[in-house]
Amino acid sequence: MTHRDNAINSYSYCEFDAMSTLDPQALHQLYSENNGWLKGWLRARLGNAADASDLAHDTFLRVMTARNQLPIREPRSYLSAIARSLLIDKARRRTIEKAYLQALALRPEPVEVSPEVRLSIIEMLVALDSLLDELGAKTRAIFLAVQLEGLTYGAAAERFGVSVTTVKNHLIKAMTRCLLAVEG
C-alpha cells in the first residue's frame, strides 16, 4: 500500500443519506478531520488567516447544501475543488468591486453611496456578470460591444464578421436572458 493509499484509507468515506444531503455525523467527521488542513491550504493561497477561515467556512457550507449522492472518496480533493471555485468567485467579485469603485472615482461630481447601496450594486453587477457568462462568447462580446462601447449594429457586424441580422439575433438572445433574470 502506498503512502497515498494510507492517506486515503485514513479518512472515512462520507456517505449521503436517502435525502441526498450529507449525514450530520459524516459532516462532523469531514469537518474535524479536514478543517485545519483546508484553512492552511487556503491561507497559503490567500496570505491571510481571516480570509482563509471565512473561505473554509463557506466551503463547508457548500458541502452541507450540496445535492450529491456519491460518497466523498477523497475529501481533500473534494474540499479543495469547492474552495478553488470560491476563490475564483471571490477574485471575480473583487475585480467587479474595484472596477465599480474606479468608475465612481472618475465621475466629475462626488457621489455619496451608502454601504448598503454599494453592496446592492456590487451584488447586481456580480449577478449580471454571471448571467453574461452563461451566454455564448460571441453573444456576450456583441452585447457588450453594443451596450457598453456604443457600437452601432453595422459596426458590430463588421467587427465580428457577421451580418447585421446576426448581431440583432445575438442582442435579442442576450436582452431576453437579462429580462428573464430581472423578472425572476
Cα 163 from Cα 118, distance rounded (Å): 39
Name which of 1-10, 44-53, 67-76, 155-164 the model is least confident about.
1-10
DSSP code, position 14? B
Q: Residues 34-49: pLDDT tens digits?
A: 999 999 999 999 999 9
Which residues make up the CATH 1.10.1740 domain(s) of the chain? 3-93
Q: What mean pLDDT is reported for the chain? A: 82
- Taking a C-beta distance cutoff of 8 angstroms, is the pair 141, 160 a contact? yes
pLDDT at 7: 35
Say whether pLDDT at 17 is over 60.
no
Banded pLDDT at 152 (limits 50, 70, 90): very high
pLDDT in tens, 115-148: 898 898 888 888 888 888 888 889 989 998 998 8
Task: Assess contact for 104 and 113: CB atoms under 8 A.
Answer: yes
The phi, psi pair for 109, rounded to 5°, reads -100, 145
Strand, helix or coil at 113? coil
- Give the model's confidence band at 11: pLDDT under 50 very low, under 70 low, under 90 confident, else very high: very low
More confident residue, 74 or 14: 74
Statement: residue 90 has pLDDT above 80: yes
The amino acid occupying position 168 is: K
Fold exhibited by the domain 3-93: Rna Polymerase Sigma Factor; Chain: A (1.10.1740)
Lowest-confidence pick of 46-60, 107-121, 163-177: 107-121
Bridge partners, 14 (sequence order): 72
Q: What is the CATH number of domain 113-183?
A: 1.10.10.10
Q: What backbone phi and psi angles, to 5 degrees, belong to 114?
A: -65, 155
d(CA 34, CA 31) in angstroms, rounded, equals 5
Query: Going by C-beta distance under 8 Å and a sequence separation of 6 or more, which residues neighbour residue 101?
Result: none
Where are the domain boundaries for CATH 1.10.10.10 in the chain?
A: 113-183
